[in-house]
Structure 1
Amino acid sequence: LLVLLLPLAYLGPTRLAYLRTGKATFGRLLVLVLGLFSPTELVLSAGEGMRPDWVERGPDGRAVKLNLPAKGLWMSNHTTLADWLYLWSFAYLSGHSSALYIALKASLRRIPIIGWACQLFGFAFLERKWAEDRQPFAAQLDRIARETNRGGDDEKMAFLLFPEGTIVTENTRGISQRFAEKSGVADFKHLLLPRSTGLFFALRNLARSIPTLHLVDLTVGYPLPRPSSTSAKPASPQYASEFYTLPSILLQGIPPPELHLHVRAFALADIPLGDLSRSSATDEDEDGTPDERAAFERWLRERWAEKDQLVERF
């Protein structure tokens, strides 16, 4: 039916309703397919900024609804290429499935069917070169804000960013370690050093037009297979991305037995975003001053250090 109604996606009055319906339908389908053919137990925990009643449970004790801030920029560590499967399922539980936007590598735009669908859903594509990304990203953020505000105060929005920029592998861990040594900052054991520029820019940009925006921090953790007690070899694989892949989960029915997801929420006032008081922002305002950018970068690394400790316990 959505294919037959595709022309509605290109008509101004019906475009937004069509896209939200399409995202919601995909979210329901994803939850159904994973539940039937590749089930994973979702282990949820909450930290600062979350309501005591953030999880609503059904008669069987399972989570049926999550009470998250209605409008949020979601940031997550990026462990495997399958992260988006489970984070979209998480968005389904929180009622954000129809209002989910994801920042993706620009190369994914060219993948047949998947890339086309991501473009249709209004996702943001980044080259991961700030000089090239800045202006297109600003336009994408403005569009997302307009689409969100068109629905009024009750309209939901979740814009998902992965500040690490790529998944954790042996190669990317090595790159992160060398960069940490060169920069004179502490490295992590399980995660990669986050990039702060795009997240800082997005928060400052969206904060001007969505004052109720929150930063929702998601920490994802996968259990790894353990070696047998008689094995002299170290645990293998070393990284979840080596074991839990999209083909293994969707085609071979080998999902993670459980997925740990720790949730925190930060109000904008609790984040060092610099001076947001100017009502009419210029290009320079969105970037912030060097001191403001440095303060946010330190804050983000502190949050990532906390996430690294969480993943250790998962």
Structure 2
Amino acid sequence: MTETDTGHAHSLWVACVFTLILMTTVMTLWHKIRGALALLGILVNTLLLCLPLYFFALLRLVLRGEKAQVVLSRILVFIAETWIGINNAIIGLTSQVKWNITGMESLDRDQWYLVTCNHQSWADILVLQRISNRRIPFLKFFLKQELIKVPLLGLAWWALDFPFMKRFSKAEIEKNPSLKGKDLETTRKACEKFAYFPTSVMNFFEGTRFDAEKHAKQQSPYKHLLKPKAGGAAFTLNAMSGHLRNLLDVTIIYPPEAPRSLLAFLGGAMNDIDVIVQQRVIPAWASEGDYESDPEFRARFQQWIGELWAEKDALLTSKMDR
């Protein structure tokens, strides 16, 4: 090959690399544009459906009879499920995800479920809503009390009977012992409405989104998961007073090379998503003990959650490390 040929070959190689980079940049920009359009659509949908939601929530404040409360609560859930359905349609248009979902076949809208999932992205909640909407009872989350101040959504969560928790620190309880157990008592009272009709309660056992830094800092024994916070699950089961008898253990697997941002999901960068749902029976003892005060119960509960998490990690390893 002559020097001229070498120069031409080098120029061609540079041109190809530049073109590839340009294409990647354009695609990334296109993902962002599509993601932004999806967010705009979801915002408009939220604004429109918050109006009837607030109306029926106010009506429920006025009509205090049990029958009226149940009927109006069902109307509120119908509005929320409609909101999710429209969001799903919007996301379907912009993300064009290929869904691979297993384990949803035998689920029942007349059952109470505790739902947990490996937590990697803000998109996880949208994925869970996508697979569960009108397949199981409406998903509800335990929320920090401060979140009621979130514009639009805070009041919507209140209207939909999402339990707002006020957790007290050890220092606060030591300073004022009367606060001990108040958080559980308040949350249990908020959950009393769940007895009227089936409900699904969502709890991310990890408590925060997975990333390599957190994984290393925790020295997690799991390859693809953070350590589960068993106390949160125990708190939820205790607060629900035995209503939660079934655990839906959801495992979400995003494409390994895809970014984990919400915009990436909405814009289509996560183009292939696997969701594996495993239904498990919650042992009766798991909702009957005192996690904070009973060390024997705490150890047993932690062992149970640890076994679930080890199995989930093995599943993730088998799917992601192929």
Q: TM-score, normalised by structure 1?
A: 0.69
Instruction: Please say if residues 54 and 156 of structure 2, whose CA atoms lie closer than 8 Å, have aligned partners that are also in contact.
Output: no
Among 92, 105, 116, the alignment partner of 1:55 is: 105
Give, as a single letter, the amino acid of the residue that structure 1 aligns with 2:187: Q
1:254 paired to 2:268: yes
Among 131, 156, 171, the alignment partner of 1:117 is: 156
CA distance in 1, matches of 2:116, 2:264: 25
1:1-314 correspondence runs (5 A):
2=49, 3-4=51-52, 6-10=54-58, 11=61, 12=64, 13=68, 15-46=72-103, 55=105, 66-67=107-108, 70-92=111-133, 94-96=135-137, 99-104=138-143, 108-125=147-164, 135-144=182-191, 146-151=192-197, 156-177=198-219, 187-208=221-242, 210=243, 213-225=245-257, 243-250=259-266, 253-269=267-283, 273=286, 276=288, 285=290, 287=292, 289-312=294-317, 313-314=319-320
CA 8–45 in structure 1, closer or farther in 2 if over 3 Å, else same: closer
Instruction: Please say if residues 136 and 200 of structure 2, whose CA atoms lie closer than 8 Å, have aligned partners that are also in contact.
Output: no
CA 171–120 in structure 1, closer or farther in 2 if over 3 Å, else same: farther
CA 37–206 in structure 1, closer or farther in 2 if over 3 Å, else same: same
| Structure 1 residue 138 displacement after superposition | 4.2
Instruction: Please say if residues 215 and 226 of structure 2, whose CA atoms lie closer than 8 Å, have aligned partners that are also in contact.
Output: yes
Counterpart for residue 49 of structure 1: none
| Structure 1 residue 129 displacement after superposition | 6.3
Counterpart for residue 35 of structure 2: none
| Structure 1 residue 140 displacement after superposition | 3.0
Name the larger-Rg structure.
Answer: 2
What secondary structure does 2:100 align onto?
Answer: strand
What secondary structure does 1:202 align onto?
Answer: helix
CA 141–257 in structure 1, closer or farther in 2 if over 3 Å, else same: farther
Query: Which 5+ residue runs of structure 2 have no aligned equivalent?
Result: 1-47, 173-179
What secondary structure does 2:286 align onto?
Answer: coil
CA distance in 2, matches of 1:69, 1:263: 18
| Structure 1 residue 91 displacement after superposition | 1.3
* 1:181-230 deviations in Å (ceiling 9; x for gaps): xxxxxx1111100001121122233243x2x72122111211122xxxxx
RMSD of the alignment, in Å?
3.0
| Structure 1 residue 109 displacement after superposition | 4.2
More helix by share: 2
CA distance in 1, matches of 2:250, 2:301: 18
Q: TM-score, normalised by structure 2?
A: 0.68
More strand by share: 1
Instruction: Please say if residues 95 and 271 of structure 2, whose CA atoms lie closer than 8 Å, have aligned partners that are also in contact.
Output: no
CA distance in 2, matches of 1:128, 1:164: 18
What secondary structure does 1:168 align onto?
Answer: coil
Instruction: Please say if residues 147 and 154 of structure 2, whose CA atoms lie closer than 8 Å, have aligned partners that are also in contact.
Output: yes
* 1:44-75 deviations in Å (ceiling 9; x for gaps): 234xxxxxxx528xxxxxxxxx5577211111
What secondary structure does 2:251 align onto?
Answer: strand
What secondary structure does 1:21 align onto?
Answer: helix
CA distance in 1, matches of 2:186, 2:141: 15
CA distance in 2, matches of 1:69, 1:122: 18
| Structure 1 residue 123 displacement after superposition | 2.5
Instruction: Please say if residues 231 and 291 of structure 2, whose CA atoms lie closer than 8 Å, have aligned partners that are also in contact.
Output: no
Instruction: Please say if residues 53 and 159 of structure 2, whose CA atoms lie closer than 8 Å, have aligned partners that are also in contact.
Output: no
Query: Which 5+ residue runs of structure 1 have no aligned equivalent?
Result: 47-53, 57-65, 181-186, 226-239, 277-283
| Structure 1 residue 7 displacement after superposition | 2.9
